Chains A and B, each alone.
Chain A
Amino acid sequence: MAVTTQIEPRQVPSLGALINRHYSLVVSTISVLVFLALWQISADQGWINARYTSTPSAVARAALVIFRTDNFFYHAWVSLSEFGIGFALALVVSVPLGLVLGTSRSIRLFVEPPLMAMYTAPRLALLPILIVWLGIGMASKVAIVFLGAIFPIIVNTIAGVRDADPRLIQAARAFGATRLDIFTKILIPGCLPAILMGIRLGIGRGLLSVIVGEMFVSEAGIGYQIMTYGQGMQIDKLLVYAFVVSIFGYSLTLAVKLMEDHIRSWRPAS
């Protein structure tokens, strides 16, 4: 799946062969380039109003300005620490809780219904009340990130524990494993991919939460800047910040996905 060892052919492949092999990549690149060109040309020609859409060249210029002068790193640091703290708290609470709930049916029966209610409800709706409780500073954003990220991780951890291979547990028992052994040597390694998948979903939810939280009310951060530039109709600068968040979110989820694939690759397909 992830790692395919392939013997490279001796001769240099022709351009045609290269295009063939990376067909999707080539088409995707062309598609993005065409999109950017159309965007630029239609704004230059006045087919669309550049005031509302900006242009790729204006966005590139705005990016230079922002990275140099806009206190960019300060705002990025604020958002990153809100996200980091909220996510770390979510991780610390959700994984042990998920393991316990996955193992114990009686506790799960009581805790799961409210848990699923929170999981399915739009948690961003809690934002105004979190502001009332915690103020407009960083604490309310940490809380909304925490609430956004915690439920996917719990739910996936529970699913991971429950899907643990019963044959492995039986085999371990037959060889005299204690409850603790089964827990640390079978259940935890066994549900690691599921936990990572929960983390991957949680990253997306957490990032969305921090941006929405900052856009709603705040004093600093990427979301604050997005709202400021949006209200001032500076679409080019707004897009730069939106791209930064996208790239960050994409890299983070990709990293977790690669870890997931790596962990899955050494276990036999069930």
Chain B
Amino acid sequence: MIGVWRRHQALISGVTSFAIILAAWQLAVDFGLVKAFFVSSPALVTTQFIKQLHSGEVLTNLSVSLYEFAWGLGLAVVVGGACGIFASWSRTFEAVLEPFIWFKYSSPTIAFYPIFVAWLGLGEPTIIAISFIFAITPVYANTLSGIKNADPDLIRAARSFGARRHDLFLKVALPGSVPILVAGLRLAVGRALTGVVAAELFGATAGLGFAISFYGQKLKTNEMMVSLMLVVILGIIFNQLLSLLESATDSWRTGPGRAE
């Protein structure tokens, strides 16, 4: 018994912790401490979830949001990665991009939402654009710093064995920066999801963010909670997948250079 506890301590505590939160939520509503109108309850959310599952609403919202998310993230990875690689090659290119990256980094991206609506119309293209802009910075920044900070000893060793520029890039810098690239990807996934949901709150015809905003404005808490929970669960699943990828790509590394 104690052995089981020791080995799976984190898992058991985690599950207990979520169970306590759900139980407290349900009991608080059942005993009338808070009104179900404001906070809904796990039982009500579950009933509503099954209802929305049967009507196909869950599947529609989920697939629309995931479709926009995939486009936003994909574009960010391609464009951000390419810009990062070019910037790591050329100091001039890096300096050309620098002010715009900084502006993007410190500006609340969503402020440009109305402009995107003017350019691309309300709905899918605008949401993809917002998600793309949310996600591109970590991809660019991590690609750049990952390649630039390649281990100088390895570079010198490769050079002395006659490696050319593209050899250095393909065989030393790129593989060496994989953990940093994956860390950037992990940040980008979170931001792309935030971008999709935030943009959908403002204007969409389907999607999780749309459902949250739509039911929220009608004060239908139960219906809103279904999509809210789905967003939270989606965030957790993506994060877990990426941390698996992180440890998988990092596992061949040994010694002090290993990223935590």
Contact = CB atoms under 8 A, between A and B. Distances in A.
Q: Do chains A and B stick together as partners? A: yes
Interface of A: 23-28, 31-32, 35, 52, 109-114, 116-118, 120-122, 124-129, 131-133, 204, 207-208, 211-212, 215-216, 223, 226-227, 229-231, 233, 235, 238, 241-243, 245-247, 249-250, 253
A261 B14 CA distance: 36
Contacts of A250: 102-103, 105-106
Contacts of B238: 120
A245 B74 CA distance: 28
A243 B102 CA distance: 12
B220 to A, nearest CB: 10
Contact of B115 (A207, A235, A243): A235
Contacts of A215: 110-111, 113, 202
Interface of B: 9-10, 13-14, 16-18, 21, 38, 91-92, 94-100, 102-103, 105-115, 117-119, 190, 193-194, 197-198, 201-202, 208-209, 212-213, 215-217, 219, 221, 224-225, 228, 231-232, 235-236, 238-239
Given A122-B194, A122-B231, A27 B92 contact: yes
B124 to A, nearest CB: 18
Query: What 9 A-B pairs come out closest when comparing CB atoms?
Result: A230-B114, A128-B216, A27-B95, A246-B107, A113-B14, A250-B106, A109-B13, A121-B235, A122-B194
Nearest to A118: B232
A207 to B, nearest CB: 6
B88 to A, nearest CB: 14
Contacts of B208: 125
B216 A31 contact: no
Contacts of A245: 107-108, 111
28 contacts: A23-B91, A23-B95, A25-B95, A26-B95, A28-B95, A28-B96, A31-B95, A31-B98, A52-B115, A113-B13, A120-B235, A122-B194, A124-B194, A124-B197, A125-B228, A127-B201, A128-B212, A132-B38, A132-B219, A211-B108, A215-B111, A226-B114, A230-B115, A233-B118, A238-B115, A242-B111, A250-B103, A250-B106
